[in-house]
Chain A
């Protein structure tokens, strides 16, 4: 331990220099992180005359519990299945099972998430916090689409502006421009672009198709709302990752490209065998950063849809804020935050594992 000999140690000075920064990080990142876990096991509220109590995993079960309900169709006295006027089987109302029914304690208080037919029976998947379940699915959908699409588009843009062309810096600057515009500003601007009546997008599509395009209320329709927010989010952030890809591209030695040229490699072969292997580390970083940003989806929702229509754009962070801040339920909001962190962590670890160095 020569390095730590008394002559080269500066315990006091070292601490004095590091402590303002490190202390602030402990206070405002590490402690809140520990508090998130601690609060999620209690019934802590923002303002409350009563002291918080330990409730175990109650917040998590309230949030994540799902149950399966197998429902038999209604039958008449002679044993025939009753059908409604569309010819579909008639089923009893699910409320019968979820409200104070001692025979079905596992779905007590739950609501129907979705259901499907199984022979004559109907199978209903029930959730105790339906809105959170939708938020969870929406967030995962958002990540599953945005991370690969944004990463790939950013790489394509990086390859385009890595060409030795006159004036290429101008294009680089333009592609990057939306990144410096706040996502809140972008969201409000695009609310007008996506507007169903006077929106720019509908007008442009209408002009391009010579009036054949039927106007769509992009954010007001539950089939298009989340997709519209995805497209806008990619538009805003893709330039950021383009620059990261570009810095990766510029670390690849030009001699490798020359060698590939001499060997007569096609552009695709050059990309596959020279460019892509050189970008491995960059790829891990880009995908992890996009994933983390995508999981944190909040401002777009708050400005554009408030989670609607019909909860089709609810997200985990939006729900956590609505709980923790809106309803002052710190413990519920904290539990959602912990779930979000576990998702981010596991996906980061998975990505790191999948893209690890194979020797």
Chain B
């Protein structure tokens, strides 16, 4: 076999593609199964698992499961909550983290190196190790809102947003990128009389498209997929994100079609986003590897 392999380039190519395709099937079939099952009534869904039909949209196909899922849980509200929390965190996070990165690279100030070491050190603290004390902390934090002063952040959007705006990895990625920008450009703009804010906003940020895309994608994925924190801080349904809304479907071992429909609803936006921006997604993951 191996000899044949070596001698016959066409056969060798075919074998290579076959291996690649078999592996691709392992990754794609569960997702395909989820989507196809969401279109089938439960009885057919279960019967189909024993044949290739499990992965094909054939038989009694309809969107009934979606209708039933929307009736069972306020999915639209959960989705809006997720998009709101994720969107606001990503936008504020990019602003705050790029400003910090800018300060670390272009400005000299007392305590800078200690501050940067602290930021690097946070990279090895898993969120799971600080979640429990933070739960107590946020339950006692003050807040001044439109409706006056209050204590405690539980059951709100802010408790899902504010703690996650700044993160070490994003600051680090911005700093890495800014380091490679030509210093002369910054000096020239300063000599021409730009304020530091103008240098940041008008000169540096417009040159930072690739890193903004990278950081946005990484932060989007992390935020949209948050689970541990929102289950602890959103007892009230009106603030829950989509993944916590899944709990409506946990015990539905009999209504798998509905479960699959809800899973598909959660997954399709991210998957579409990914397929449209594959290159940027993969580049953003690759850039986290540069720090080694």
Contacts and interface: CB of A to CB of B under 8 A. Distances in A.
Nearest to B126: A296
Given A299-B227, A344-B126, A192 B270 contact: no
A180 B50 contact: no
Interface in B259-292: 259-260, 263, 266-267, 270-271, 273-275, 278, 281-282, 285-292
Contacts of B134: 28, 32, 35
B125 A29 contact: yes
Given A14-B107, A17-B99, A296-B128, A190 B46 contact: no
A182 B225 contact: yes
Contacts of B177: none
Interface string B45-84: 0100111001000000000000000000000000000000
Contact of B28 (A21, A177, A186, A207): A177
Contacts of B102: 17
Nearest to B256: A192
Nearest to A192: B256
Interface string A326-348: 00001001101110110011001
Interface stretch (B142-150, B161-169, B207-215): B161-169
A78 interface: no
A182 B269 CA distance: 12
A295 interface: yes
A149 to B, nearest CB: 14
A240 interface: yes
A302 B167 CA distance: 26
Contact of B130 (A33, A284, A299): A33
Interface stretch (A63-71, A125-133, A198-206, A269-277): A198-206
Contacts of A157: 23
Given A184-B225, A348-B124, A14 B135 contact: no
Contacts of A240: 285
Given A17-B102, A206-B50, A324-B132, A247 B107 contact: no
A99 B211 CA distance: 62
Interface stretch (A82-90, A112-120, A166-174, A256-264): A166-174
Interface string A267-306: 0000000000000011011101000100110110011000
Contact of B133 (A39, A247, A286, A321): A39
B103 interface: yes
Given A182-B243, A185-B267, A243 B282 contact: yes
A117 B273 CA distance: 59
Tier of interface size on chain A: 35 or more
A189 interface: yes
B242 to A, nearest CB: 9
Interface in B157-194: 162-168, 171
A25 B100 CA distance: 11
A177 B271 contact: yes
Contacts of A182: 224-225, 227, 243, 266-267, 270
Interface in B82-103: 96-97, 99-100, 102-103
A298 B128 contact: yes
Nearest to A156: B23
A163 interface: yes
A292 B289 contact: no
A163 B20 CA distance: 11
A325 B132 contact: yes
A293 to B, nearest CB: 8
A200 B49 contact: yes
Interface in B105-141: 107-110, 112, 115, 118-119, 122, 124-137, 139
B271 A181 contact: yes
A33 B99 contact: no
Nearest to A339: B129
A299 B166 contact: no
Contacts of A21: 96-97, 99-100, 165-166, 171
Nearest to A232: B30
20 contacts: A13-B107, A14-B109, A17-B99, A23-B166, A25-B167, A29-B168, A32-B133, A33-B130, A36-B130, A157-B23, A160-B23, A174-B27, A177-B27, A180-B271, A200-B54, A203-B54, A282-B292, A325-B232, A337-B132, A337-B133
Given A181-B31, A181-B270, A337-B133, 18 more contacts: A8-B108, A10-B107, A18-B104, A23-B166, A33-B130, A165-B16, A175-B23, A175-B24, A180-B221, A186-B30, A203-B49, A235-B26, A285-B291, A288-B124, A295-B128, A298-B228, A299-B227, A338-B129
Interface of A: 3-4, 8-11, 13-15, 17-18, 20-33, 35-36, 38-39, 44, 46, 157, 160-161, 163, 165, 168-169, 171-186, 188-190, 192-193, 195, 198-200, 203-204, 206-207, 235, 239-240, 243-248, 281-282, 284-286, 288, 292, 295-296, 298-299, 302-303, 317, 320-321, 323-325, 330, 333-334, 336-338, 340-341, 344-345, 348
